[in-house]
Copies of this chain bind each other. A is one copy, B any other.
């Protein structure tokens, strides 16, 4: 196909638009939320997806024909940065429009011919549902293969000749279909013109989002949880964007604190314009592990609407929503029965906390989804969801930086998520991951119950994610008057290292770097260590705290 469909390499080769073998489905109300069966029916109706090298696609091609709300998102021209407003579609792209002319021969785009790709096939062995074992290695397995010309030779919809050539910055049509369907299935954005685009992971998506909405020359600033994701803070500061912390409780952001900051903003005292962006991790927040409940999300959203603040919703841990911790029935106990592992996918979906995107009638949320925590970090592929305007600007930026995720990642993730598992298999995998993480969390919490001095330490069992935030009551420390919180934190950290355990210091996550510490915290994770190691590690941590407090 590449020989006649040559587009242009440089811009992300805008090429033949997608065609379908059948007619588009007739417009009809689809007021019921989308289901797995609905996706299957829609695909069957739409016919085989035909999308060649660097084919243009967008989410509208894969959404329900009728949106859940006919109202379109608001426009964000007043918040978008001059940099991103100045971005234009490439001049060369205009040429691509001509490629639809039958019989046109292209000498235009410098796309290499797939004849010269030194990769004939890609294969992968993956677990297959039901995911029976405690780890993926004990599960059933399947092999899946992609050849260079599966579309031509095997009636496939995606192959190496397309996946490994230049593509669109939005991602391949094949993967975009999957993320769009998944987004509608789970999040149901309540405005008409929402769209998705693939990202190279949420770190990259956040950097792009900041370039889109913040400008140092406007003295723009961002709000976030008072303890926030360290890399996010480090992404913002060098861009000249000031970051301000919002107070939190065990459910994360406090709407009152958010409102108070915005109501009483003093530009000259703060040295920054009133914030126009909120960056938040609503579920399993890093580092505090907090998860906003439904009402909290609505309240936070309302405050943002009131002050016209745009929201970056960063949700890598979203699917790691676990049942409440029950000490007596810890999932880490030998022989513990996981009643949730056989949950139906309908129940699983029904019980997920609604996202900010799900209540976003204005299109003021740019949501970032990631496969890093639930599939593999090394895909460097995730996706963003937002209004048509915001996603269009996002794509213009990607055309001049990432060009979308790697073709290897798109090819292999497509084989896994779409062809091998399908939407249902992926949901079953997420249910399985939740069980895995519940066991890990419970092992860490069991160790805390066993080893930590409760008179000076406290914690809230996380409902989501991979982090446990430990509070140490510095006011009860014998040197509380003489030493600062930072000094006590350092003393305990050093003692931990000496005893052979590493936990992250709370001060590393302070949203406002110069602000005084309000508490003494350590972040721990249950993502990677074995239950035995976690038990020993927490015992050492407890000893370090006891040693410092002299108890």
Q: Mark A112-151, 1 if CB is under 8 A from B, else 0.
A: 1101111111111111000000011100010000001000
**B433 contacts A116, C-beta separation under 8 Å:** yes
Taking the complex as formed, is A473 at the interface, i.e. its CB lies under 8 A from any CB of chain B? no
Nearest CB of B to A492, in Å: 13
Taking the complex as formed, is A3 at the interface, i.e. its CB lies under 8 A from any CB of chain B? yes
CB-based nearest B residue for A5: B528
**B91 contacts A230, C-beta separation under 8 Å:** yes
Binds B, one of A25-33, A334-342, A376-384: A376-384
Taking the complex as formed, is A256 at the interface, i.e. its CB lies under 8 A from any CB of chain B? no
Q: Which of B231, B404, B529 contacts A399 (CB 8 A)?
A: B231
CB-based nearest B residue for A524: B107
**Which B residues are CB-close (under 8 A) to A378?**
163-167, 406-408, 410-411
Within 8 A of B (CB), among A196-223: 200-201, 203-204, 207, 216-217
Taking the complex as formed, is A194 at the interface, i.e. its CB lies under 8 A from any CB of chain B? no
Q: Mark A343-385, 1 if CB is under 8 A from B, else 0.
A: 0000000000000000000000000000011011111110000
**Which B residues are CB-close (under 8 A) to A148?**
137
Taking the complex as formed, is A497 at the interface, i.e. its CB lies under 8 A from any CB of chain B? yes
**B127 contacts A118, C-beta separation under 8 Å:** yes
**B235 contacts A112, C-beta separation under 8 Å:** no
Q: Mark A56-91, 1 if CB is under 8 A from B, else 0.
A: 000000000000000000000000001110111011
Taking the complex as formed, is A446 at the interface, i.e. its CB lies under 8 A from any CB of chain B? no
Taking the complex as formed, is A405 at the interface, i.e. its CB lies under 8 A from any CB of chain B? yes
Taking the complex as formed, is A517 at the interface, i.e. its CB lies under 8 A from any CB of chain B? no
**A107 contacts B230, C-beta separation under 8 Å:** no
**A239 contacts B107, C-beta separation under 8 Å:** no
In the assembled complex, the Cα of A95 lies from the Cα of B399 at a distance in Å of: 36
Nearest CB of B to A544, in Å: 12
Binds B, one of A7-15, A304-312, A324-332: A7-15
Taking the complex as formed, is A475 at the interface, i.e. its CB lies under 8 A from any CB of chain B? no
Taking the complex as formed, is A409 at the interface, i.e. its CB lies under 8 A from any CB of chain B? yes
Q: Which of B116, B216, B376 contacts A119 (CB 8 A)?
A: B376
**B137 contacts A379, C-beta separation under 8 Å:** no
Q: Which of B88, B135, B373 contacts A115 (CB 8 A)?
A: B135
**B529 contacts A3, C-beta separation under 8 Å:** yes
Taking the complex as formed, is A111 at the interface, i.e. its CB lies under 8 A from any CB of chain B? yes
**A204 contacts B401, C-beta separation under 8 Å:** yes
Nearest CB of B to A319, in Å: 12
**B136 contacts A3, C-beta separation under 8 Å:** no
Q: Mark A84-114, 1 if CB is under 8 A from B, else 0.
A: 1011101110010011010111111111110
**B502 contacts A111, C-beta separation under 8 Å:** no
**B528 contacts A401, C-beta separation under 8 Å:** no
Within 8 A of B (CB), among A403-440: 403-412, 416, 429, 433, 436
**A203 contacts B107, C-beta separation under 8 Å:** no
**A407 contacts B376, C-beta separation under 8 Å:** yes
Binds B, one of A36-44, A265-273, A479-487, A530-538: A530-538
Q: Which of B141, B235, B376 contacts A164 (CB 8 A)?
A: B376
**B235 contacts A540, C-beta separation under 8 Å:** no
**B118 contacts A4, C-beta separation under 8 Å:** no
In the assembled complex, the Cα of A230 lies from the Cα of B504 at a distance in Å of: 46
**Which B residues are CB-close (under 8 A) to A501?**
104-107
Asked whether A234 and B88 contact (CB < 8 A) given A4-B529, A107-B537, A403-B203, the answer is: yes
CB-based nearest B residue for A167: B378
**B400 contacts A380, C-beta separation under 8 Å:** no
In the assembled complex, the Cα of A106 lies from the Cα of B501 at a distance in Å of: 6
**Which B residues are CB-close (under 8 A) to A237?**
86
In the assembled complex, the Cα of A88 lies from the Cα of B504 at a distance in Å of: 18
**B500 contacts A105, C-beta separation under 8 Å:** yes
Nearest CB of B to A6, in Å: 4
In the assembled complex, the Cα of A91 lies from the Cα of B82 at a distance in Å of: 31
Taking the complex as formed, is A527 at the interface, i.e. its CB lies under 8 A from any CB of chain B? yes
Taking the complex as formed, is A550 at the interface, i.e. its CB lies under 8 A from any CB of chain B? no
**B124 contacts A121, C-beta separation under 8 Å:** yes
Q: Mark A489-529, 1 if CB is under 8 A from B, else 0.
A: 00000000100111111001000000000000001110111
Q: Mark A453-497, 1 if CB is under 8 A from B, else 0.
A: 000000000000011000000000000000000000000000001
Taking the complex as formed, is A240 at the interface, i.e. its CB lies under 8 A from any CB of chain B? yes
**A238 contacts B86, C-beta separation under 8 Å:** yes
Asked whether A502 and B108 contact (CB < 8 A) given A123-B122, A238-B86, A400-B207, the answer is: yes
Taking the complex as formed, is A187 at the interface, i.e. its CB lies under 8 A from any CB of chain B? no
**A125 contacts B120, C-beta separation under 8 Å:** yes
Known contacts A106-B528, A123-B123; 4 further A-B pairs (Cβ under 8 A): A120-B126, A380-B402, A380-B404, A380-B405
A-B contact pairs, 23 of them (CB 8 A): A3-B529, A3-B530, A10-B286, A87-B234, A92-B504, A99-B502, A105-B529, A105-B534, A107-B504, A107-B538, A110-B525, A111-B377, A115-B436, A116-B436, A117-B375, A117-B376, A118-B136, A118-B416, A119-B376, A120-B141, A165-B378, A204-B401, A406-B406
